[in-house]
Amino acid sequence: MENFKKTKLRNSLIVVFVIITAFLSYQCLGEEEGDPKLSEVWDPVPKIVTPGENNTPPSDAIILFDGTNFNEWETTDGAEPKWQLVDGAMTVVKKTGSIKTKKSFGDCQLHIEWRTPAKVEGEGQGRGNSGIFLQERYEVQVLDSYNNVTYSNGQAGSIYKQFIPMVNACRPPGVWQTYDIFFNAPKFNEDGTVEVPGFVTVVQNGVLVQNHVELQGPTAYIGKPTYETHNAKEPISLQDHGNPVSYRNIWIREL
């Protein structure tokens, strides 16, 4: 009988101990879960950027082309561009060569508007071909891909010969189109090997066509791309592919 009482008492004590422990644990947990301040981060404070209105650039953008001059551009040989400047747009003049920005850029957000000729000429890669080369190496293809069949990894919105666009978001020839490009430049080790590859996201006319794709190397027309070390910042170039493609409203934000 005495033993039975002892056991009963011991069991009761255990139950009380478990209840108290559980209660205390719940209190501690409850405090953490119940205090929103513990998960608030107040520093740093994002700097203020005034967004653009009616297709104008945000306040912290570097204007690369506002339609009035070639001040930010030069040929790949460093000469004055010979492209046409008409009605707030620049247009490729065949055989005058590609042009590039005088400034160099690494990680960036690039806004650029382009238009392939209203008068449809040529086919496949020969129709409204140009291109935006990030760091003079990584091409986001510009092409009239409206009712114009070519290899998928070479149509508009492709990362040329590397990534097919997720969809064809092209507007008809002669109509202005937009690219908003988000670029993480590749990083190289001192021995020239790749530390971090480049990544590109492309939104065409408000439609996502490339979602953070990993660049395999510089754009290669023939064969496999292979990374070669280059500066952390390099110019952006626009391709003269012999077709009178136009560009306007080009701005960039360094990230």
Q: Rule CB under 5 A: which residues touch Mg ion?
A: 129, 131, 239
Asked if residues 240 and 94 have their Cβ atoms less than 8 Å apart, the reply is yes
Structure tokens at 234: 């390099």
Alpha helices by DSSP H, the chain: 2-34
Q: Which is nearer to Mg ion, 62 or 93 (CB)?
A: 93
Q: How far is the CB of 190 from Mg ion (least distance, A)?
A: 33
Q: How far is the CB of 51 from Mg ion (least distance, A)?
A: 31
Q: Which is nearer to Mg ion, 106 or 154 (CB)?
A: 154
Q: Which is nearer to Mg ion, 131 or 173 (CB)?
A: 131
Q: Which is nearer to Mg ion, 81 or 157 (CB)?
A: 157
Q: How far is the CB of 154 from Mg ion (least distance, A)?
A: 8
Q: How far is the CB of 168 from Mg ion (least distance, A)?
A: 16
| AA letter at 252 | I
Neighbours of 57 (CB within 10 A): 19
Q: How far apart are the two ends of the chain, measured CA to CA in Å?
A: 80
Question: Is 9 strand, coil or helix?
Answer: helix
Q: How far is the CB of 141 from Mg ion (least distance, A)?
A: 5
Q: Which is nearer to Mg ion, 154 or 198 (CB)?
A: 154
Q: Which is nearer to Mg ion, 116 or 249 (CB)?
A: 116
Residue with tokens 């997720």: 166
Taking CB atoms, the residue at the shortest distance from Mg ion is 131
- Please, which residues have CB within 8 angstroms of residue 61's CB and are 6 or more apart in sequence? 52, 111, 251, 252, 253
Asked if residues 153 and 164 have their Cβ atoms less than 8 Å apart, the reply is yes
Q: How far is the CB of 129 from Mg ion (least distance, A)?
A: 5
Q: What is the 3-state secondary structure (H, E, C) of 18-78?
A: HHHHHHHHHHHHHHHHHCHHHHCCCCCCCCCCCCCCCCCCCCCCEEEECCCCCCCEEECCC
